[in-house]
Amino acid sequence: MQSRIANYFGLEAAGTTFRREVLAGVTTFVTMSYIIAVNPAILKAAGIPEGPSMVATVMTAVVGTLVMGLYANRPFAIAPYMGENAFVAFTVVKVLGYSWQTAMAAVFLAGVMFAVLTVARVRSWMVEALPPGLSYSFGTGIGLFLSFIGLNESGIVTIGVPARSTISPRGAAIGRVR
């Protein structure tokens, strides 16, 4: 059985072994397993029921990872994108006031458009057209956004600005006017 799996995935040609790949898979699962709890918690903030969102999170990760491994023959684990989920929950639903159903419909349409762009090979052209600095800034921006959400949820910072505040000549807020 191990030799059939090793032949199918070309482990020897890749300079690896069955044991090493199993260990890598277990390590990846343990590393990613936090998303099983965190993703439903984020989506719950948008009003999405926790149980179904947990099932959807797990099923998305299982199907995506199996497709990547068995069809694409790539050792990549796939899971729901927490940056987009946080944006949907905290910005689209909580700040902009859309229902979670409307937000999920928009995510679905974006996924369809992404798939069409990928099949038409437009997506790769768009990615290659971006300067490297801009590509790196996306990850940085998403990380800062997730950090802000954590700070907001803990009460350290709040979303929005006071209705009126007194600003000193140097630009520092010196107090709220009620």
pLDDT digits (tens, 9 = 90+) for 120-174: 989 889 888 999 899 889 889 888 888 888 888 888 887 765 555 555 555 555 4
pTM above 0.85, yes or no: no
Task: For residue 164, give every residue at least 6 positions away whose Cβ sits within 8 Å of its Cβ, in sequence order, or none.
Answer: 176, 177
What's the mean pLDDT when you consider all of the chain?
86
Q: What is the pLDDT of residue 178?
A: 45
Residue 20, token pair as written in the block: 């090493």
Residue 6 has pLDDT above 90, yes or no: no
- Check residue 7 and give its pLDDT: 87
Collapsed DSSP state (helix, strand, coil) of residue 165: strand
